Structure 1
Amino acid sequence: MSAATVSAATSPAELFDPSSTLVGTPAPLVGADDDAEEHVAAAGDNEPTAKQKREFNKLQKRLRRQVGNAIIDYNMIQEGDKVMVCLSGGKDSYTMLEILRSLQRNAPVNFSLVAVNLDQKQPGFPEHVLPEYLEGTGVDYHILEKDTYSVVKEKTPEGKTTCALCSRLRRGSLYGFAEEIGATKIALGHHREDILETLFLNMFFAGSLKAMPPKLLSDDGKNIVIRPLAYCREADIASYAEQMAFPIIPCNLCGSQPNLQRQVVKEMLAEWEAKHPGRLETMFKAVTNVAPSQLADRELFDFEGLENVQAERRANRIDILNEA
């Protein structure tokens, strides 16, 4: 991507504004993406109808707008960033990479993308799929080979789910590799439903009110993690991935395990949304609109000092009355 000049008058909101025309071409960022349209046309057996093209363009526009807004709201990507896009072979990470590529073409800040897949040596993993796909995109990429599968199987008791340990090992490998290649940001493909599911999982099973933040500093302070799909609906991502005909690789380790707690929560949220459309969007807004004084965490709010606040306000009122 060619370097872009950002004037002093450019507002932060314009940096990834989907309608921005700050760079080069006067065409809006969210218009039909020629590459994507050709991909969709080639993916199907029949030429898509005019209506199907319009619906796809609307979907693509919505995803690009939501990702752009998330980047703006949380200052996810800055001038000169090297963004390591973690690609698992699932619908979410493919969509994240494609949307970031499309935004990168017109963004008035210069940043680079490098796709990284962690080959965990799961039996039957189709090692050729991702390299073949990435070669076709022209994106720089690395395949990181780490046999975490054997460790997970060895350490996980029979009948227990592998997700927690697998996630920790995967995260450690990716964080370390990001340092090796000089990545300034690590992009993960979690979407709106992932964030809400994590919120309820922590409430139900961990007694903690926390979810997945759109932007995170790792515990060791070495890596900044971003989630560009934080505002995106899973249904939109699934539809986009299907129409783009991404070569999806299923997870045979965790995705096939029955009775996962996350799956139970996912089904609960889906039922709520089916009965009360819009409920998930309202709940997600709640995650972004927290009132610490209305909860009960003593570390977030000084409940013990309320008497001091009360006394200070009373004193201020008395001073105002005396001055009057």
Structure 2
Amino acid sequence: MSTSAALNQKEQYNLNKLHKRLRRNVGEAIADFSMIEEGDRIMVCLSGGKDSYAMLDILQNLQRSAPVNFELIAVNLDQKQPGFPEHILPEYLKALGVEYKIVEENTYGIVKDKIPEGKTTCSLCSRLRRGILYRTATELGATKIALGHHRDDILQTLFLNMFYGGKLKGMPPKLMSDDGKHIVIRPLAYCREKDIERYAEAKAFPIIPCNLCGSQPNLQRQVIKEMLNDWDRRYPGRIETMFSAMQDVVPSHLCDRELFDFGAIQHGMDVIDGGDLAFDREELPLTPAGYTPEESDDLSINVIEVK
């Protein structure tokens, strides 16, 4: 076997392994949070970025073998940004054979009119998008709205709220929408961003950059993202451990009086959640919680055709 053939074989092996990992991550998130039920009509919000492309791709793959029947309809919001390539998504979705709808709303003009030059546009833009997507979900008879946020987004939101908002609050994999009429799901909740990036490159998704907010420097979320990426490089397993912590909350050992009744603690009661171990020298595992050697596998993939 030639060196080139061996390399291609390795690339294909790594790609298949990556696809299985992402598919497993999505399947586990769907099962853990009961995201999809029999007869669901799921509105897949497609922005033109790597995350939403990957979400649609994997949901289509799962749809073919899922134990329940569900429909997918891809929806893109054309915000009328200058130079937005309007043809890319319709052509891509037609080729896929998936039902889709392009919603045209000039949110770009509204944001530029309301937000002073140099100020962050993300907050207003997000509110406008949400309202339009909720309305569209109602019009399409969608029972679920699927968003492409992944594990890194969830952790970033946790730290944003801690550092800037003074809240221990993240981004849930499933929730009721702001208007109380829709269920929002995040099927990529267990997926790593770097896995999605590799997958998007291998699949050659026609990525559409966001020129409205993505080019703004020094955003708070970007600062948090860089911090977490630095930790991930220097301390393998730390990201996995932090995400595991979000799934193993101990209310009695925090300080929220609404979440736990500290006033009810009396002499003679049973020890709650192990008591006070704050001053003990705890034995920490050599492998961080939630981290497996698979996470550090070299999945180097060049751009190759994926079926």
Pair in the same fold by TM > 0.5: yes
Q: Provide the rounded CA distance (Å) in 1 between the counterparts of 2:26 and 2:91.
A: 26
Runs of 4+ in structure 1 displaced over 6 angstroms?
311-314
Q: Provide the rounded CA distance (Å) in 1 between the counterparts of 2:99 and 2:258.
A: 44
Q: Secondary structure at the match of 2:127?
A: helix
**1:47/1:169 Cα in 2 relative to 1: closer, same or farther (>3 Å)?**
farther
What does 1:46-57 correspond to in 2, within 5 Å? 49-57=8-16
Check if 1:302 corresponds to 2:261. Answer: yes
Q: Provide the rounded CA distance (Å) in 2 between the counterparts of 1:278 and 1:162.
A: 34
What does 1:2-41 correspond to in 2, within 5 Å? none
Answer with 1 or 2: which has the greater Rg. Answer: 1
Check if 1:198 corresponds to 2:157. Answer: yes
Give aligned pairs, total.
Answer: 267
* CA displacement at 1:68 relative to structure 2: 0.2
**Bigger relative contact order, structure 1 or 2, given CA contacts below 8 A and separation 6+?**
2
Q: Provide the rounded CA distance (Å) in 2 between the counterparts of 1:305 and 1:159.
A: 51
TM-score (norm: length of structure 1): 0.80
Q: Provide the rounded CA distance (Å) in 2 between the counterparts of 1:304 and 1:115.
A: 50
Q: Corresponding residue for 1:33? A: none
Per-residue CA distance 1:245-295 (angstroms, 9 max, x = gap) = 000000001110011111111000001111101110100011111111111
Q: Provide the rounded CA distance (Å) in 2 between the counterparts of 1:246 and 1:226.
A: 22
* CA displacement at 1:312 relative to structure 2: 6.7
Q: Corresponding residue for 2:128? A: 169
Q: Secondary structure at the match of 1:225?
A: strand
Per-residue CA distance 1:66-123 (angstroms, 9 max, x = gap) = 0000000000000000010000000000000000000000111000000000011111
Q: Corresponding residue for 2:75? A: 116
Check if 1:287 corresponds to 2:246. Answer: yes
Percent of aligned positions that are identical: 69
Aligned partner of 2:27 among 68, 71, 88 = 68
**1:231/1:113 Cα in 2 relative to 1: closer, same or farther (>3 Å)?**
same
Per-residue CA distance 1:171-218 (angstroms, 9 max, x = gap) = 111011101111000000000100001111111111111110000112
* CA displacement at 1:47 relative to structure 2: 11
AA at the equivalent of 2:165: A
Aligned partner of 2:45 among 86, 91, 102 = 86
What does 1:222-301 correspond to in 2, within 5 Å? 222-301=181-260
TM-score (norm: length of structure 2): 0.84
Q: Provide the rounded CA distance (Å) in 2 between the counterparts of 1:140 and 1:229.
A: 21
Structure 2 residues not aligned, in runs of 5+: 272-307
CA RMSD of aligned residues (A): 1.7
Q: Corresponding residue for 2:100? A: 141
AA at the equivalent of 1:167: S
